[in-house]
Structure 1
Amino acid sequence: MRAAPSNSFPFTAIVGMDDLQLALILATISPAIGGVLIRGEKGTAKSTAVRALTEILPPLDVVPGCRFSCDPDRPDPTCPDGPHAVTEGAEVRAARLVELPVGATEDRVLGSLHLEKALAEGITAYEPGLLAAAHRGLLYVDEVNLLHDHLVDVLLDAAAMGRASVERDGVSVTHPARFVLVGTMNPEEGELRPQLLDRFGLTVDVVASRDPAVRVEVMRARLTYEADPESFVARYDGAQRELAERIVKARDLLTEVILTDSALRQIAEICASFDVDGMRADLVTARTAVAHAAWSGRTVVEVDDVRAAAKLALPHRRRRNPFDAPGLDDQQLEEAINNSTPPEDPDDDGPDDPSGGPGGGADNSASSEGGSSESEEQSIGQTAAGPAPCGDVAGSSAPYKARLLSVQVAGTGVAGRRSRAITEVGRVVGDRGRVGREAGRPHLLGTMRNAAPYQKVRGRSGPGLVVRADDVRLAVREGREGNLVLFCVDASGSMGTKKRMGEVKTAIVSLLLDAYQRRDTVGLVTFAGAAATVALPPTGSVETAVRRLESLPTGGRTPLAEGLLQAAEVLRIAAIRDPRRRPLLVLVTDGRATHGDNAFARARQAAGWLAQRGTATVVVDCEPRRGVRLGLSSELAADLGAEYLDLGDVAAGNLVRTVIERKAA
């Protein structure tokens, strides 16, 4: 937990991020919206904006000594530190920003049993977690896409319910947890699952402006701030106070805003026109429109409010395929608004719209900017994928659904959804000693069993156990792990017809879809011509891998040895960066090596070296079945100690099944 420093970068000094600032403000006005997800490339000041927000939030009155920050005027009757008397007085403190690290455990988030009091004093005491500390404040999760899925579920449930419940180890506690949840993420590092995306109220895509004038203004503001933070902050003091006062007024006005039946119908028609799933989109859009009306000083929701709300609430709810990028087309939004029933002012006796009609309002420029940002993000993604392919490009067919098979031998990798493993989450299968002051969920029975033989020596004379730090045992849990699946793909001219390469891409895309669902890390190495290329370093962004694969051209000679050596180097670096993630190399080739002297002999030598390193490999043979078959891929598979699979047998999940079964070896 940390509080934003007093000299943090001012919220009102942020340049070129109007949509992000609006989303954060609306979420603070109405926490029922459900929080904000900020998606953007690295270096776009996502974290700066979130930390700056706390400086403009009004201070809180809290019950003195309450660990859950209860409001003295309306204390929560179920507060574990209560009951609180209304006459207890108040303690004033600043709004709190609580940061949740990616490696946080469920105990740290929800809270847990106070082990020392339970064992030494024989009482059940609850030790609050981060959700309790974030009550009536902000909970910030950087790189939320890298957080374990079950923790994201916990956070979003608490944000939606306004309460957190703990039922474990004899502890049964429910406490208030109303906070503004803000998550930031870089899509290149992997997406959130659509089910989790939908749970965030609003989303904003942030990209750096391509306007040199705006970039100059950003640099000037940042350099001036770094040179003299105190003077820079003082310069924006008046604007900060005005913004804080406006937020307070909007909060007070929120309950007076009227959401007419026609406005509700317009919201429903817009959501239906974008074919979103469920009703959460409608509810979030309605709450956001009410908050925007209060922010604008109005007591009736108008079309500008609906437009602004839809722009923030719908982009991440339009995904129809796991590999579709979130986004909202502004022209489609305007068409949906124009084709919907416009809101009516209940106090308006005439047909004239005082706001200037559906096309008016200050949000038109914002909508235009949003469209520009989306197109820029798309162009950035295209640029990142590399130059346009110069060879023949084959497209894949619709991917097939992979069969879910589990690995019988448990590993010790990072939490995921594929293989059995000893991880931080899952069912308890044993206990182990704690290393130093290592954090983790204690194993109560194991701790008691460890301390029991020494009670007489330690002079215990009453109830409870005398427990020392070295008595504590931690629970060993068995869950599921994710894996690194590295594709090494032959993109040379020997791969044959476009149809054949299309079959190869379809098989790989099917495995990528399975990896997306199982939370694997993937990478892509291609080889053609005279060299091998790391088309995609190991990443959680399966969507990027699919885009790189689809644009992969074929042609030229076959540098098979270079491809294997490049794949080995990628795996070596990946093992240093993430040693707990077990790798699997999927080599897709016809086995021919035509670049350089003794090309196939060098390829076999590289294969033998990979086998000595114990690299688990699957070889997919792409040699055409018609004509003379050389069988080089099977020889290569023998050198690698790999599973051999003919491309013709890759259907209905056969490749996925082979990959998973190979991991069990």
Structure 2
Amino acid sequence: MSTLYPFTAVVGMDDLRLALLLNAVSPAVGGVLVRGEKGTAKSTAVRALADLLPGLTVVAGCRFSCAPAAPDPQCPDGPHDDRAAATRPARMVELPVGASEDRLVGALDIERALSEGVKAFEPGLLAQAHRGILYVDEVNLLHDHLVDLLLDAAAMGASHVEREGVSVRHAARFLLVGTMNPEEGELRPQLLDRFGLTVEVAASRDPEQRVEVVRRRLAYDDDPAGFAARWADEEAALRERIVAARALLPQVVLGDATLRQIAATCAAFEVDGMRADIVMARTATALAAWAGRTEVLGEDVRQAALLALPHRRRRSPFDAPGLDEDKLDQALEKCGGDDEPDPDPEPDPEPDGPDSGPGGGPGGGIPPQPQGPRSTADQPQADRPQGPDTAPAAGRPDAAPGASAGEQAAVRAAEPFRTKMLSVPGLGEGAAGRRSRARTEHGRTTGARRPQGALTKLHLAATVHAAAPHQRARGRSGPGLVVRRDDLRQAAREGREGNLVLFAVDASGSMAARQRMGAVKGAVLSLLLDAYQRRDKVGLVTFRGTTADVALPPTSSVDAAAARLERLPTGGRTPLAAGLLKAHDVLRVERLRDPSRRPLLVVVTDGRATGGGPDPVALAGRAARLHAADGTASVVVDCETGPVRLGLAGRLAAELGGAAITLDELRADSIAGLVRNIRTMGSDSRRAA
């Protein structure tokens, strides 16, 4: 008997259990992405699902899990004509975040392939997951090159391994399940769209439910086998229901009226592509089979939309996933089928086993999803008129609630724009990304070297060049090359790395004019969006008054940085030295944690230093020279405006050993816009003449 935590013993989390069960009924739904805070039993529920899946009939001895009735004609272990059939449980294969490419797709023995002409292939995790579950915990932290391989395999249902003219292909159709904590960063849109359904999970705030969670977990930890035995009957019943729903699935009718509802709903929410329509249709069909029906109803379509659309509506990493349920009901009613959904269904009783919640019907207790973009509680304050250079004092009607003297409410950021490329000079060796030049496993080939450990990327010309002088001594007498381990050469490749982009943002009174600070926030948001696209880590230091604060320690979650920036109040003096010293401390600690990730310091200021000591200008200069001594790449975004400029940001950039760039110059289209303006002025003058 399995000692995994039983699926039916999971307390609450109706959406998660329902989404997993629908994929068990119809793997064509396309998998589940589970988003939620840490410690919410995401991984526990996913691992428990494997025990509920029906067993598989496979070709005996086939490492690629071919089905006897329809074996893969290109299977590396084929042909399977005379092989016996065997039955085994469905597998759940876990993909570690730090896995190598060879571990995922498999490894080809290059030395044997060159010297013997033998395709000695060792299958990877994609082969093991065929016809089963591929589970990626912390999927948002997966390296980009592994994400690309997953996308290819998920799109084609097969994995291809190419090594210098030697090719291996095998089937790889699997149920992709991922879990992630949004605080640690978001997924690329391409991978996000590959998950059929998404579920948001959070710990219950009900004390009684929390008590039950703790009680069951302690009982399981004390006696896993005994705890599993107590839930064996419920597990067996749920397993039988999955088998029955699978058998009923081909008989479910998806009428034209229902298809129109699905298409109208996807169009109303402006989702990209057609995958959402297909996933909704498959999910609604699975819901009907799960409920024991052969006809898809409006309530199935509504439930399918709540599971399939939230993650497909995101247009940027700053948008919160979710679905406006009022808009959903309007879209369904606009093109309603025979059975219109009840916009206010009666809540189901608290689930306690397979006969309630996801085990008792398709509608089990869907909590309201977050709607629309994030809002900030103090944003209405930002819309009130404020002075151009000084913040309103506390106690005035236009001051922020609880604000001290000299502090004003947070203002809204201007619209983000596409920024120029900012990079760290030199050649790094950090995590794969899209910003600065680095030695990587993927990219253009720049040379060859002896392999360190297992050979992954063969440099064929260099290998032949190394082996050629020794052929006579090795007794070569016919065609082919006698290759030994010492002859193998690894391709040295150059690509791009992700960096740590640390923002030091001046929030003092000199920056507090509403329009000016809005433009500054818009610029930082634009840089954050650029950091998301280039797979960087980001951090945020702010300084005003007399001190500097770490608003956000370095993280992969750019939307968390955007949220902190949005709530940032301004006012007071400018402790520039304190801001630079705080940034120096943050970078010093990060160098110890991740020495291979090179930092880029982005200081957003007008360059004034008016607080933090008896001689703030000299202190700021000494703090800047600390960064220069460490070799930190720096960029100063000059926020000074007006016809008379002091050029203080340029001096700060010189002290830092970096470059200064104005807000206008930060825009990637600034030169193109200037050219357009010159052309427009020229055409206007010609018309006037």
Alignment-mate amino acid for residue 267 of structure 2: A
Identity among equivalent positions (%) equals: 60
Cα distance, 1:534 vs structure 2: 0.8
The answer (yes or no) to whether the contact 2:503–2:540 under 8 Å persists in 1 is yes
Instruction: Give the counterpart of 2:199 among 182, 201, 204.
Output: 204
Alignment-mate amino acid for residue 128 of structure 2: A
**What is the number of equivalent residue pairs in this alignment?**
635
Q: Hey, what's the Cα distance between the residues in 2 that align with 1:619 and 1:79?
A: 57
* 1:413 is aligned to 2:408: no
The answer (yes or no) to whether the contact 1:113–1:169 under 8 Å persists in 2 is no
Cα distance, 1:42 vs structure 2: 1.5
Cα distance, 1:109 vs structure 2: 2.3
Change (3 A) 1:313 1:466: same
Q: Hey, what's the Cα distance between the residues in 1 that align with 2:484 and 2:278?
A: 52
CA offsets, 1:58-96, max 9 Å, x none? Answer: 2222211111111223322332221212x5322222221
Instruction: Give the counterpart of 1:10 among 6, 10, 29.
Output: 6
Q: Hey, what's the Cα distance between the residues in 2 that align with 1:642 and 1:160?
A: 44
The answer (yes or no) to whether the contact 1:434–1:473 under 8 Å persists in 2 is yes
Greater alpha carbon shift after TM alignment, 167-176 vs 550-559: 167-176
Cα distance, 1:140 vs structure 2: 1.0
Cα distance, 1:291 vs structure 2: 1.3
CA offsets, 1:283-342, max 9 Å, x none? Answer: 110011111112222112122221221111011111234421211133332333333322
Q: Hey, what's the Cα distance between the residues in 2 that align with 1:646 and 1:311?
A: 44
Q: Hey, what's the Cα distance between the residues in 1 that align with 2:364 and 2:331?
A: 16
Other-structure match for 2:277: 282
Q: Hey, what's the Cα distance between the residues in 2 that align with 1:214 and 1:143?
A: 26
Matches within 5 A, 1:447-462: 447-451=463-467, 453=469
Q: Hey, what's the Cα distance between the residues in 1 that align with 2:241 and 2:279?
A: 22
Q: Hey, what's the Cα distance between the residues in 2 that align with 1:469 and 1:500?
A: 63
Q: Hey, what's the Cα distance between the residues in 1 that align with 2:456 and 2:401?
A: 49
Alignment-mate amino acid for residue 625 of structure 2: G
Other-structure match for 2:68: 72
* 1:502 is aligned to 2:518: yes
Q: Hey, what's the Cα distance between the residues in 2 that align with 1:579 and 1:55?
A: 42
Cα distance, 1:116 vs structure 2: 3.7
RMSD: 3.2
Change (3 A) 1:259 1:226: same
Other-structure match for 1:532: 548
The answer (yes or no) to whether the contact 1:34–1:160 under 8 Å persists in 2 is no
Q: Hey, what's the Cα distance between the residues in 1 that align with 2:271 and 2:277?
A: 9
Cα distance, 1:508 vs structure 2: 1.4
Other-structure match for 2:389: none
Matches within 5 A, 1:231-630: 231-343=226-338, 369-372=365-368, 374=370, 390=403, 391-403=408-420, 409-435=426-452, 437-438=453-454, 440-451=456-467, 453=469, 469-590=485-606, 591-625=608-642, 630=646
The secondary structure found in structure 2 opposite 1:75 is coil
Greater alpha carbon shift after TM alignment, 472-481 vs 39-48: 472-481
The answer (yes or no) to whether the contact 1:396–1:506 under 8 Å persists in 2 is yes
* 1:40 is aligned to 2:36: yes
Q: TM-score, normalised by structure 1?
A: 0.87
Alignment-mate amino acid for residue 72 of structure 1: P
Cα distance, 1:408 vs structure 2: 7.9
Change (3 A) 1:80 1:648: closer
Alignment-mate amino acid for residue 515 of structure 1: A
Cα distance, 1:470 vs structure 2: 4.9
Residue segments in structure 1 that go unaligned for 5+ positions in a row: 345-352, 656-665
Q: TM-score, normalised by structure 2?
A: 0.85
Alignment-mate amino acid for residue 323 of structure 1: F
Greater alpha carbon shift after TM alignment, 318-327 vs 129-138: 318-327
Cα distance, 1:168 vs structure 2: 4.0
Cα distance, 1:477 vs structure 2: 1.8
Change (3 A) 1:470 1:304: farther
Q: Hey, what's the Cα distance between the residues in 1 that align with 2:563 and 2:83?
A: 61
Change (3 A) 1:380 1:633: closer
The answer (yes or no) to whether the contact 1:31–1:178 under 8 Å persists in 2 is no
Change (3 A) 1:405 1:171: farther
Q: Hey, what's the Cα distance between the residues in 2 that align with 1:174 and 1:472?
A: 24
* 1:115 is aligned to 2:115: no
Greater alpha carbon shift after TM alignment, 598-607 vs 223-232: 598-607
Other-structure match for 1:659: none
Greater alpha carbon shift after TM alignment, 635-644 vs 443-452: 443-452
Cα distance, 1:249 vs structure 2: 1.8
Alignment-mate amino acid for residue 79 of structure 2: P
Cα distance, 1:201 vs structure 2: 1.0
Q: Hey, what's the Cα distance between the residues in 2 that align with 1:446 and 1:381?
A: 62
Change (3 A) 1:467 1:92: farther
The secondary structure found in structure 1 opposite 2:34 is strand
The answer (yes or no) to whether the contact 1:205–1:374 under 8 Å persists in 2 is no
Q: Hey, what's the Cα distance between the residues in 1 that align with 2:134 and 2:157?
A: 13
Other-structure match for 1:156: 151
Cα distance, 1:418 vs structure 2: 2.1
Residue segments in structure 2 that go unaligned for 5+ positions in a row: 349-356, 379-399, 672-689
Instruction: Give the counterpart of 2:211 among 203, 216, 224.
Output: 216
The answer (yes or no) to whether the contact 2:575–2:610 under 8 Å persists in 1 is yes
Change (3 A) 1:12 1:444: farther
